[in-house]
Structure 1
Amino acid sequence: MPAIVPSPIPEAPGALPLIGHALPLLRDPLGFMRSLPAHADLVRVRLGPVEAVMVTALDLTRTLLRQHDVFDKGGPIYDKLREGLGNGLGTCPFQDHQRQRQLVQPAFRSDRITRYAALMTNHIDTVTASWNDGDVIDAYAEMGKIAGLTLGQSILGGVLPPKALTQVLADAPALMEGVVTRAVTPPFLQRLPTPANRRYHQARSRLRETALAIIRDHRAAGTDHGDIVSVLLTGEEQTQTVGTRLRGLTDEEIVDQIITFLVAGTDTSQATVAWALYQISRHPDIEERLHAEVDTVLGLNPAAHHHLSRLPLTTHIITETLRLCAPVWLITRTVTADTALGAHRLPAGTTVAFSPYLLHTRPDLFPDPQRFDPDRWARQHPTPPRGALIPFSAGKRKCLGDQFATTELTLALATITARWRLTPLTHRAPRPVLSMVTRPHRLRMKAERRHPMRNDEASSLQ
């Protein structure tokens, strides 16, 4: 019997000479992602001059994430991320990952998450208490204040003055927008002195200078500030379980970690809470149940770490927001050795890509995927297939800060909705901004002060 020869991997429609699929990716990246599973489990997509094999099937995505040495971080997205953020834990190749992770992991132990949660509670309380009844706020920007203040202490030890911290919060999304634009456009456009290119380079330079200054300040102080930078500086000579010594992080490597945490910890958190507030405003039944939950659990207090286990609906709303508005919508990898993926052979050097958003909106994995339904995560509902929800990736390269992020997101949403009802000024859905993170453009909402329900009223709605 003759051998079965697999058919060629089809190319997604809409590619143009030189720029490939840059136009659909720039105009409607999420719509383009949703269209790809209809073509095949593997689809060729051209990111500027680079061709990538897009993985659209769950089983093949799981294979890719399990074999992180074969499918290493690389390709146009990670090449540009590494250019912008440096060679930190989120961007480094396989050969550097294990050492970096062992050195950074102590900063995210459960006891430290509890300590960071107290900082989160204080800053969420401060920001939300500054609003006035009837104020119109930019939800994304206000969440940025919370994320920035929290990161300013949990990562940097509170050493940055307010003006410098404000600049960091502006530079982080500017850097990420530049990364994505540069990943899907030809190199010659990246060299032009356009306003966007200048913003990118200025943001990158300022963030690195700020990180170096923070390291110098910490070294000069010589004390443990109880923050992540202190862990990185004192983790030089950590001992592995096998008894060998780890080479500590250099100052340049610590700069890369700081920038990675600053960028990942601001844009992702503020975008997710902003999207959650928007989704709640569109679903009065969910909003009413959420108000009942937070009124029962919190009363007039801000949400704290010990409340988390008693906020199931709040947690499910965050999970559903991470599914429907996946923070990171496109990730690339590089094949390091000839391998097979599904029915196809992929030679070393092939760029492969996957999309958490694509998986999260497949109707075979999540029924009625465009519907915002926090109850799909309740115990009595069918569990989605293993590995179908990957907002923080999966496998050994899963985001180390996932517990930090979900703690902050849940505390923020609970405190805000216990005190305020936020209503968009327009019925038009906010436009997602093209960046590494899917964030809403100008989500302006009116803040109306709430009066918590009595416990008997709240209990009747839960």
Structure 2
Amino acid sequence: MGTTLRRPDGPRGRFMLGNTFDYDRDRIGFLRRAQQRFGDVFRFSDDTTVVLDPELIHEIFVRTNSDFFAESPVFARRRTVARRFQDDAPRTMISRHKSWQGMKRSVVSAHGARLVRNFDAVMAQCGDDDVDVLSVMKAFSARAVADFCIGGDGADAEAVAEAVAEAVSAAAGAAAEIMDRSVTPPFWLPQPTVLRVHRTSRRLARRLDRVIAHRSASAAAPVPRDLLDVLLAPHGRCLSEEAIRDLLEVVLRASHGVPGAALAWAVRAFAQDPGLLERVRAEAGPARAAAAGAPVAASDLPYTEAVVKELLRAYTPTWLMGRVVGRPTSLGPWEFLPGEQVMFSPYLVHNDHRWWSAPDRVRPERWLIAEQPHARYAYFPFGAGARVCLGSQLGLLQLTLAIARLADICDIDVVDFPGTVHPRALFEPSGLRARFRPAAR
């Protein structure tokens, strides 16, 4: 590379404030306006570039673990993390390999019965009152993923999983307060939100350490009951307890907010289109079978799975993703240095008329035809490539079963929903309130 780097153009922003002020007022609108003016690649700031071209985004995914990397802690300093890239990569890949074994369909499907029981328990707590839908669905998703990760061990497993779910909810909520901001405060700042992140993260780590230590001291299960059993299995390269805890925490955190937001969007979609609810209800039999212990896959409910895929397209909860540059590299004609950030938006790509037919309409049927319903690389709600979300298969099953169960047992009255949604860390229907009544038979 020469001494002068090739950089894309971008909005200049305000004096001393850059683009942060205008971005925070309307994040999606700001990015769309910048895209219209500067194209699919533009500079947001001196160290951040936004990429909205599906081909280039796919290239970033493919080159993750070589030129780009992700999954840095909330308070990681980018250049410090970049220097650790080479040291952490081998352990990360071992962890991901063993975790993929735990995400195989046979293991995930066996989780279905407990998942449906957890959903029924959470919905029963709603009673006859109108409730905050997002909070209810996040409570379920935290409970469900904790059960999948550590819920198969003994008589007190449910209580242990519930305690971990509470710790995950607290830690994820504290982190979201920080991630909602455009500018991350220093990790050492004695600010209440920063201290809350540290406190809740330590609490979650302690709970996981206790669970891992207890399971490590017990006899190995002949058949894996949950993800922790898979990670502790002696075959292959063994992981340290610290590596296991780190990986469990990644899965627990990632499977908390996103499924909860997607389920809340499903509630809104059902309320807006009762016919959609009836079509899902008509194929809910496998969800009932799962409640009785029968193994089930998302593909056993094809229309409901199509609804899930469409909701993840139209209302992508992880609406903005990013990678950090690990070494001097280029992307298309542009050049980047270690520690810089590249951001991209699944939501904007998923709702771009160039890549989709009628993207402003919720049409599950687009997923039930033989042809791919989008341009190449234009759908990535869980990421892609080497760093695809570890919980993608689990998340798809959880959402499919939960949405089928919701349609099967509930009629929905939406009480309140603000017309405009402003995404922060996640794109989620904040303010949605509804009443869930037993479904009329």
What CA deviation, in whole Å up to 9, does each residue of 1:322-346 have, x standing for no partner?
1122122222223334433223333
Q: 1:457 corresponds to which residue?
A: none
Q: Does residue 99 in structure 1 map to residue 94 in structure 2?
A: yes
The answer to whether the Cα contact below 8 Å between 1:72 and 1:94 also exists between their aligned partners in 2 is: no
- Structure 1, 347-356 or 104-113: larger mean CA deviation: 347-356
Q: Is the 8 A contact 1:73 1:93 kept in 2?
A: no
* 1:104–1:140 distance in 2 versus 1, CA, 3 Å: same
1:109 corresponds to 2:109: no
Separation (CA, whole Å) in 2 of partners of 1:145 and 1:179: 20
1:80 aligns with 2:74: yes
- Residues 1:340 and 2:336 aligned together: no
TM-score (norm 1): 0.80
1:315-330 correspondence runs (5 A)? 315-330=305-320
Q: TM-score, normalised by structure 2?
A: 0.84
Structure 2 unaligned blocks of 5 or more: 82-86, 152-156
Work out the CA distance in 1 between the residues paired with 2:40 and 2:432: 35
SS in 2 for 1:259: helix
Distance in 2 of aligned mates of 1:16 and 1:327: 32
Match of 1:441 among 418, 425, 430: 430
Q: Bigger shift: 97-106 or 422-431?
A: 422-431
Secondary structure at the residue paired with 2:111?
helix
- 3-state SS, counterpart of residue 392 of structure 1: coil
Aligned position for 1:32: 30
State yes or no: 1:177 paired with 2:171. no
Q: Greater shift after overlay, 109-118 or 219-228?
A: 219-228
Contact 2:146-2:162 at 8 Å conserved across structures: no
- The SS at the match of 2:269 is helix
State yes or no: 1:220 paired with 2:217: yes
Give the Å deviation of 1:380. 6.4
Q: Judge conservation of contact 1:78–1:333 (CA < 8 Å) in 2.
A: no
In structure 1, what is the equivalent of residue 440 of structure 2?
451
Specify whether residues 70 and 41 from structure 1 end up closer, same or farther in structure 2 by C-alpha distance, changes over 3 A only.
Answer: farther
Alignment partner, residue 121 of structure 1: 116
Deviation at 1:412, TM superposition (A): 0.3
Render the CA deviation track for 1:261-286: whole Å, top value 9, x for unaligned.
11112212111111111122122342
Q: Is the 8 A contact 2:102 2:227 kept in 1?
A: yes
Of all paired residues, the percent bearing the same amino acid is 24
In the other structure, the counterpart of 2:250 is: 260
- What are the residue-to-residue correspondences of 1:24-423 with 2, within 5 Å? 24-38=22-36, 39-46=38-45, 51-74=47-70, 78=72, 80=74, 94-132=89-127, 134-157=128-151, 158=157, 160-161=159-160, 164-165=163-164, 167-181=166-180, 184-185=182-183, 187=185, 191-224=188-221, 226-235=225-234, 238-239=235-236, 246=237, 248-294=238-284, 305-306=295-296, 308-379=298-369, 383-423=373-413
- The answer for the alignment partner of 1:22 in structure 2 is 20
Q: CA deviation at 1:432?
A: 4.8
Q: Using the alignment, how far apart are the partners of 2:407 and 2:331 within structure 1?
A: 45
SS in structure 1 opposite 2:296? helix
8 Å CA contact 1:174, 1:199 repeated in 2 = no
2:414 corresponds to 1:424: yes
Length, aligned pairs only? 421
1:460 match: none
Specify whether residues 15 and 78 from structure 1 end up closer, same or farther in structure 2 by C-alpha distance, changes over 3 A only: farther
Call closer, same or farther: CA 1:385–1:177 in 2, change over 3 Å.
Answer: same
Q: Give the aligned partner of residue 84 of structure 2.
A: none
